[in-house]
Chain A
Amino acid sequence: MSEKKKITLNRRFVVSRLVRDRGDTLFVTGLGSTTWDAAAAGDHRNNFYLWGGMGGAAATGLGLARAQPGRRVVVLTGDGEMLMGIGTLATIAVVAPANLAVCVIDNQRYGETGMQETHTGHGVDLAAMAAGAGFALTQTIWTTKDLEAAIPHIYETEGPVFVDIKVNTDHVPMVLPMRDGTAIRGRFREAVLGERAYD
Chain B
Amino acid sequence: MATTKKKTANKWPVQIFKTLKDADVAQVAFVPDAGHAELIKACLADNHIKTTRLTTEEEGVALALGAWLGGERSALLMQSSGVGNCINMLSIMQETRSPLLMLVTMRGEWGEFNPWQIPMGQGTAKALEDAGTIVYHVDDAGGLAETIYAASQIAFNAYRPVAVLIGQQVIGFKDWRK
Contacts and interface: CB of A to CB of B under 8 A. Distances in A.
Interface of A: 28, 48, 50-68, 85, 87-88, 90-91, 94-95, 181-182, 184-185, 188-189, 192-193, 196-197
Contact of A181 (B27, B64, B92): B92
A66 B69 contact: no
A148 B169 CA distance: 59
A191 to B, nearest CB: 10
A181 B68 CA distance: 14
A9 B109 CA distance: 54
A53 B74 CA distance: 19
A94 B52 CA distance: 8
Contacts of A55: 58, 62, 89
A63 B92 CA distance: 14
Interface string B52-70: 1111101111111111111
Nearest to A86: B55
Contacts of A62: 52, 63, 66
Given A63-B65, A66-B70, A67-B66, 4 more contacts: A53-B61, A58-B62, A90-B55, A196-B71
Contacts of A67: 26-27, 66-72
B133 to A, nearest CB: 14
A59 B70 contact: no
Contact of B96 (A54, A181, A193): A181
Given A62-B52, A63-B27, A181-B92, A192 B64 contact: no
B72 A88 contact: no
B95 A68 contact: no
A186 B52 CA distance: 25
Contacts of B52: 62-63, 66, 91, 95
B92 A66 contact: no
Contacts of A85: 58-59, 62
A53 B54 contact: no
A87 B55 contact: yes
B88 interface: yes
B69 A88 contact: no
A192 B96 contact: no
B91 interface: yes
Contact of B62 (A60, A68, A184): A60
Interface in B21-73: 26-27, 50, 52-56, 58-72
Contacts of B65: 56, 60, 63, 185
A60 B55 CA distance: 14
Contacts of A64: 66-67, 69-70
A52 B91 contact: yes
Given A50-B92, A66-B50, A181-B97, A60 B69 contact: yes
B59 A192 contact: no
Given A53-B91, A182-B97, A185-B98, A59 B67 contact: no
A59 B68 CA distance: 12
A68 B71 contact: yes
Q: Which residue of A60, A185, A196 has the most chain B CB atoms within 10 A of its CB atom?
A: A60
